[in-house]
Amino acid sequence: MTQPQFKLLNIITGVFVTILVLVPSIASKFVAIGPFNLSGATLFFPITYVFNDLLTEVYGYARSRQIIWTGLCCQVLAAAIYWLVGICPAAPFWHNQAAFDTILGFAPRITIASLSAYFCGEFANSVILSKMKYKQSGATGFSLAWRFLLSTIVGEAIDSVIFLGVGFWGTMENGDLLRTMLTIYVAKVIYEILALPLTIKLSSELKRIEGVDKIDLPQDTHYNPFAMEF
């Protein structure tokens, strides 16, 4: 069967993967947004959920699953390259190893936390949105906004709990960890709410340009993240 030729899918995939690969390095800097101090990653990582919403809403769960896996593999590759370069002997005239390690250094616990949080959160987001769209018969308007929002709320919650739990449990007081977890989660949800009008507009334009508005039928959709069908 001939595969449809989409005009923008490759571009969306490229931007999605680029943000994922950049997130670990920009997480090392905290920026001041008014009275709030946020990690650089907090400013950009929620965009991946916007893209995941668009991918699932427009192209369907199977393609979203393929791109989630692509993002995960690129993150692993980037981490491996940073680690390999980091352990290579430095040139005699280069004295910035400490700075390199601070920004791009390989921390096994944080890397595992980041990858597992991404995997679970993104797949939860995609599955929920896909199933809601079927239940709503692909309705737009409030129904579209609700499935975008609810799927993101659940996905971001899973992501925040896994990342901070795996990455920082035992390194700080439990109360401080829970407050940090809640603060970051609330910031991400507010981010997604503010982006909701743009997400809805982009989904409408994508459907028009690509000529597709996929509804995943239960009998034809394998929600196992490890399924190989595309």
Query: What is the per-residue DSSP string for 115-172?
Result: HHHHHHHHHHHHHHHHHHHHHTTT--THHHHHHHHHHHHHHHHHHHHHHHHHHHBTTB
Average pLDDT (37-58) is 89
Amino acid at position 162, single letter: I
Residue range 120-159, pLDDT digits in tens: 999 999 999 999 999 999 999 999 999 999 999 999 999 9
Average pLDDT (78-90) is 92
CA distance 218 to 75: 31
Residue 229's pLDDT band (cuts 50, 70, 90) = low
CA distance 87 to 100: 11
Structure tokens at 189: 């949800």
Using only C-alpha atoms, what is the Rg of the chain? Answer: 19
Q: Which CATH number fits domain 9-220: 1.10.1220, 1.10.3470, 1.10.8, 1.10.1760?
A: 1.10.1760
Note the pTM of the prediction, 2 decimals.
0.90
**DSSP-derived pairing of the beta strands 36-39 and 30-33:** antiparallel
DSSP assignments along 6-33, one per residue: -SSHHHHHHHHHHHHHHHHHHTT-EEEE
Residue 3's pLDDT band (cuts 50, 70, 90) = low
pLDDT above 70 as % of the chain: 97
Q: Which residues of 63-97 are buried (b: 16+ CB within 10 A; e: fewer)?
A: bbbbbbbebbeebeebbeebbeeeeeeeeeeeeee
Average pLDDT (14-34) is 86
Structure tokens at 71: 């993002």
Sequence-ordered list of residues with C-beta below 8 angstroms from that of 136, at least 6 positions apart, any chain: 143, 147
Q: Could you give the count of Cα atoms lying within 13 Å of 173 in the half-sphere of its Cβ?
A: 3
